[in-house]
Amino acid sequence: MTDAHALTLFNSLTRQLEPFQPVHEGEARVYSCGPTVYNYPHIGNMRAYVFADILGRTLSHKGYRLTHVINITDVGHLTDDADAGEDKMEKMAAEKAQSIWDIARHYTEAYWADIAALNIRQPAQWSVATEYVPQMIEFAKQIADKHCYEIDSGLYFDVSTVADYGRLARAVTEEGEGRIEAVDGKRNAADFAIWRKTPAGEKRQMEWDSPWGPGAPGWHLECSVMSGKLLGFPFDIHTGGIDHREIHHPNEIAQNQAFCCTNGLDIPANSGARVWMHNNFLVERSGKMSKSSGEFLRLQLLIDRGYHPLAYRMMCLQAHYRSELEFSWDGLGAALTRLKRMIMAAERLADVEAGAPSHPKLAAMIETFEKAMSEDLNTPVALTALEDVLAAKKVDPAAKRAVVEAMDAVLGLGLFGTSRADLRLRPKNAVISEAEIEAALAARKKARAAKDFAASDTLRDELAAKGVEAMDGDPLGWEWKLG
């Protein structure tokens, strides 16, 4: 596929669209803030990784050699992002009476399962915070004299020692801003711990010796150190959800400035990463996204209810990553139906070998797709271009196959790796077997064809009593879901 379009990305730091200019010719180095593995990720968290995946796939598609790092935070993230409260890992370990290491392993594996289920490509490296503590101490030692001060609770970063602190944030982070809790002895409200000392007389499950006494690294320090070590300052792109734009990333940037230079942020390279990108939130009105609510929205819950995980990926792609996306079961159902239709169309190309992607009819669709992805990853428009290709009539199937493959390599819907049957998941609490449902649906179809609506209604009611809703409007004829 040819590429006449330069990639333009929205940089949260400069608040504008900028042409992507790699630091190293032909390469793209990307760091994404990873999960804190004290609990299962909710589907909102996974939106952040679908976004990072789309970014990575697009960079690959544009021909850049991609190095993507995602970290695993297994220490240091407090219950409050702005540095107060308890360590999330310690808290969960105490609640479950398990070791932090077991908690971390369990939830890291659960997160990786979601990554795989959503067809998110593996990054070049998963960097685990606890494996970089000596490097974190080294980094802290280098900036301590000029930029930090020690108080009882730890070594704190003085945000007044770097130029332009907080430029990235949209909310005010000055004194009085509600989210930052007061800590005795802090010079500025926005100062944050880069090393948290274990209180005298206490022993934490996770602690390391340091020049400031036994303790644990601060969450912000982790990401500065791992991104700098693995990608080199300055690297190209740093990603995360918009909540990170307010505290975590401004603090990373301040540390990076202290480490590299103390110059201001008018030159983006001074922030450690040239481009900072943030996905907007997935929201849900009833509060089911909160991990503290009993049944929160995990990917597994969607699967248990009969929705294939790729339907959730589709749902994410239907919105631009910078727009808020509202979750609803109906919306998810619609995304699943859309995916089914695309997969059905792709199945017609299953045995076709890809040929040259050149066909006059397809050229305009390719153009639309390339333009959309090049303009700050406009997946909603790119999806429609892919659908147009799938629906195009009187086009050489070999050319069609080639174009669909290339577009799907960017969107990652797995159109040739997933069959219609794969998409049909049986809800976990369905009290009826799939074969029985199929038989009832087939009988009902027959009855309807024979205009025996009484029999058809009876079959529908019987299915409904068993928790299965037969969906008449569905021309595919094989749709069912839990009523």
Least Cα distance to 353 among 383, 320, 396 occurs for 396
Residue 108 CA to residue 90 CA, distance in Å, equals 15
Residue 154 CA to residue 208 CA, distance in Å, equals 13
End-to-end CA separation in angstroms for the chain: 44
Task: Assess 325 for contact with Zn ion (CB under 5 A).
Answer: no
**Per-residue burial over 145-166, b = 16 or more CB atoms within 10 Å of its CB, e = otherwise:** eebbeeeebbbbbbbebbebbb
* Residue 223 vs 314, nearer CB to Zn ion: 223
User: Is 320 annotated as ligand-binding?
Assistant: no
Task: Give the CB-nearest residue to ligand AMP.
Answer: 241
Q: Report the residue from 44, 123, 217, 272 that binds ligand AMP according to the rule CB under 6 A.
A: 44
Q: Which does 436 bind (CB under 5 to 8 A by kind): Zn ion, ligand AMP, none?
A: none
Q: Report the residue from 123, 234, 241, 357 that binds ligand AMP according to the rule CB under 6 A.
A: 241
- Region from 136-144, 179-187, 274-282, 299-307 binding ligand AMP, contact rule CB under 6 A: 274-282
* Residue 189 vs 223, nearer CB to ligand AMP: 223
Task: Assess 35 for contact with ligand AMP (CB under 6 A).
Answer: yes
* Residue 233 vs 369, nearer CB to Zn ion: 233
Chain centroid to CA 29: how far? 17
Task: Assess 56 for contact with ligand AMP (CB under 6 A).
Answer: no
Smallest gap from residue 280 Cβ to ligand AMP (A) = 7
* Residue 19 vs 294, nearer CB to ligand AMP: 294
User: Is 33 annotated as ligand-binding?
Assistant: yes
Q: Which does 35 bind (CB under 5 to 8 A by kind): ligand AMP, Zn ion, none?
A: ligand AMP
Smallest gap from residue 239 Cβ to Zn ion (A) = 9
* Residue 36 vs 418, nearer CB to ligand AMP: 36
Smallest gap from residue 297 Cβ to ligand AMP (A) = 9
The two structure tokens encoding residue 53: 């995946």
Smallest gap from residue 32 Cβ to ligand AMP (A) = 7
- Region from 204-212, 217-225, 395-403, 432-440 binding Zn ion, contact rule CB under 5 A: 217-225
Q: Report the residue from 7, 9, 28, 33 that binds Zn ion according to the rule CB under 5 A.
A: 33
What Cα–Cα distance (Å) separates residue 369 from each residue in 58, 60, 388? 11, 15, 10
Q: Residue 260 burial by CB count (10 A; 0-12/13-18/19+): exposed, middle or buried?
A: middle
Q: Report the residue from 72, 223, 345, 362 that binds Zn ion according to the rule CB under 5 A.
A: 223
Smallest gap from residue 96 Cβ to ligand AMP (A) = 18
- Region from 42-50, 55-63, 127-135, 436-444 binding ligand AMP, contact rule CB under 6 A: 42-50
Q: Report the residue from 7, 9, 13, 48 that binds ligand AMP according to the rule CB under 6 A.
A: 48
- Region from 95-103, 120-128, 220-228, 444-452 binding Zn ion, contact rule CB under 5 A: 220-228
Smallest gap from residue 257 Cβ to ligand AMP (A) = 22
Query: Helix axis angle, 100-117 relative to 88-96, nearest 10°?
Result: 110
Task: Assess 76 for contact with ligand AMP (CB under 6 A).
Answer: no
Task: Assess 228 for contact with ligand AMP (CB under 6 A).
Answer: no
Smallest gap from residue 367 Cβ to ligand AMP (A) = 31
In the complex, the residues that contact ligand AMP under the rule CB under 6 A are: 33, 35-36, 44-45, 47-48, 240-241, 243-244, 279, 281-282, 289
In the complex, the residues that contact Zn ion under the rule CB under 5 A are: 33, 223
Binding site, residues? 33, 223, 248, 252, 291
Binding site for ATP, residues? 291
Binding site for Zn(2+), residues? 33, 223, 248, 252
